[in-house]
C-alpha cells in the first residue's frame, strides 16, 4: 500500500502551528526494544513533541531481566512522576510493544488510552527463536515469556495501532529467509522488516494495522512512521 511521504496532522488548521495547538494531550511514553536503550527513541520522540505531545523515553535493560521487571521499572517511574487518573499513551518498538502488553496486565490501575507498536512480534519471533537456540546470550531474558509469544493478551478496552515494516534489511533476515524456504511460505507470508515477519505483528483485537516500506530499526527514524504514530494517537486509526 502506498503511503504519502509526510502527513500534515488534521488537527492543525492552516493558521495553527504545533506550538499553538498543544492542548492537554496525554503524555506519551516511548519504550525501546531489544539491544537498545532509551535514546534510540529520541528522533521519534522529537517528532511527536513537534505534534504537541509531551514524551518520556523509558530506559530499561532488555537482556538482563525478564519482562515483568521492565514493567515494574515503568510502573515505578510513573508512580514517581505521573498521576494515575491522567490519561497515558504508550508507544513501543519491537520488544517494547510486548512490555506494553505485560505492563497493562500487571498494572491495570493506570489510565491507558491509545497505544502504538512498531515492529512488535505479537505472535512470537521466529528470528528470536533461532537465536535462542544458537546463541542464547544474545536474547538473554527477553525470550521466555515475551519474544516466545507467551505474553499477556491485549484487553479489548485498549485501542492499539500496529505498524509493521516490509523492507527486509537486517541480520535477522538470515533466519527469516531460512525459515520461509523451510516452511514454503508464499510471497505474502514471507514479508518482513529484516527481523520480524509482518504476520508476527498482527493482533486480532488491534484497532488498526499498517504496513510501511521500512526496516525494523529504520522505522524509528522514518518520518512517515512518526506521522502515522501521531495520527493514530490523535484519531484511533491510521491515515489512509
pLDDT at 9: 37
| 90 is a domain residue | yes
Q: How far apart are CA 233 and CA 240, in angstroms?
A: 15
What average pLDDT score do residues 19-23 get? Answer: 47
| 6 is a domain residue | no
- The winner for highest mean pLDDT among 34-38, 54-58, 124-128 is 54-58
Number of domains in the chain: 1
φ, ψ (nearest 5 deg) of residue 155: -65, 145
Length of the chain: 240
Q: What is the pLDDT of residues 65-81, one digit of tens each?
A: 999 999 999 999 999 99
pLDDT at 15: 33
Whether the predicted pLDDT of 3 surpasses 50: no
What average pLDDT score do residues 55-65 get? Answer: 95
What CATH number does the domain containing 75 carry?
3.40.50.1820
pLDDT at 139: 87
pLDDT at 179: 63
Question: 82: which 3 cell numbers?
Answer: 505521573
| 44 is a domain residue | yes
Whether residue 209 contacts residue 201, with contact meaning beta carbons closer than 8 Å, is answered with: yes
What average pLDDT score do residues 225-230 get? Answer: 98
Confidence of residue 168 (pLDDT cuts 50, 70, 90): confident
Q: How far apart are CA 24 and CA 11, in angstroms?
A: 13
More confident residue, 136 or 163: 163
| 2 is a domain residue | no
Name 69's Cβ contacts closer than 8 Å, sequence gap at least 6. Answer: 60
Q: How far apart are CA 119 and CA 86, in angstroms?
A: 27
Q: Residue 103 is part of which domain span?
A: 25-235
Whether the predicted pLDDT of 188 surpasses 90: no
| 166 is a domain residue | yes
| 51 is a domain residue | yes
Q: What is the pLDDT of residues 90-124, one digit of tens each?
A: 999 999 999 999 999 999 999 999 999 999 999 99
Residue 226: CB atoms within 10 Å: 24
Question: 193: which 3 cell numbers?
Answer: 522488516
Whether residue 51 contacts residue 116, with contact meaning beta carbons closer than 8 Å, is answered with: no
| 3 is a domain residue | no
Amino acid at each position: 500500500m502506498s503511503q504519502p511521504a509526510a502527513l500534515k496532522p488534521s488537527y492543525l488548521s492552516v493558521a495553527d502551528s504545533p506550538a499553538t495547538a498543544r492542548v492537554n494531550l496525554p503524555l506519551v511514553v516511548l519504550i525501546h526494544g531489544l539491544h537498545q536503550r532509551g535514546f534510540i527513541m529520541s528522533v521519534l520522540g522529537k517528532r511527536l513533541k513537534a505534534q504537541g505531545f509531551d514524551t518520556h523515553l523509558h530506559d530499561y535493560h532488555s537482556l538482563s531481566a525478564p519482562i515483568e521487571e521492565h514493567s515494574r521499572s515503568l510502573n515505578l517511574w510513573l508512580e514517581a512522576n505521573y498521576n494515575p487518573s491522567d490519561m497515558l499513551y504508550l508507544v513501543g518498538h519491537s520488544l517494547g510493544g510486548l512490555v506494553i502488553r505485560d505492563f497493562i496486565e500487571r498494572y491495570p490501575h493506570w489510565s491507558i488510552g491509545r497505544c502504538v507498536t512498531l515492529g512488535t512480534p505479537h505472535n512470537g519471533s521466529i528470528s528470536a527463536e533461532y537465536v535462542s537456540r544458537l546463541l542464547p546470550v544474545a536474547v538473554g531474558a527477553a525470550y521466555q515469556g515475551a519474544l516466545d509469544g507467551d505474553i499477556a493478551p491485549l484487553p479489548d478496552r485498549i485501542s492499539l495501532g500496529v505498524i509493521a515494516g516490509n523492507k527486509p534489511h537486517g541480520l535477522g533476515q538470515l533466519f527469516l529467509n531460512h525459515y520461509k524456504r523451510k516452511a514454503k511460505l508464499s510471497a505474502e507470508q514471507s514479508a518482513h522488516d529484516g527481523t520480524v515477519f509482518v504476520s508476527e505483528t498482527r493482533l486480532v483485537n488491534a484497532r488498526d494495522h499498517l504496513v510501511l516500506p521500512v526496516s525494523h530499526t529504520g522505522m524509528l527514524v522514518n518520518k512517515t512512521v512518526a506521522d502515522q504514530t501521531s495520527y493514530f494517537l490523535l484519531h484511533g486509526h491510521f491515515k489512509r
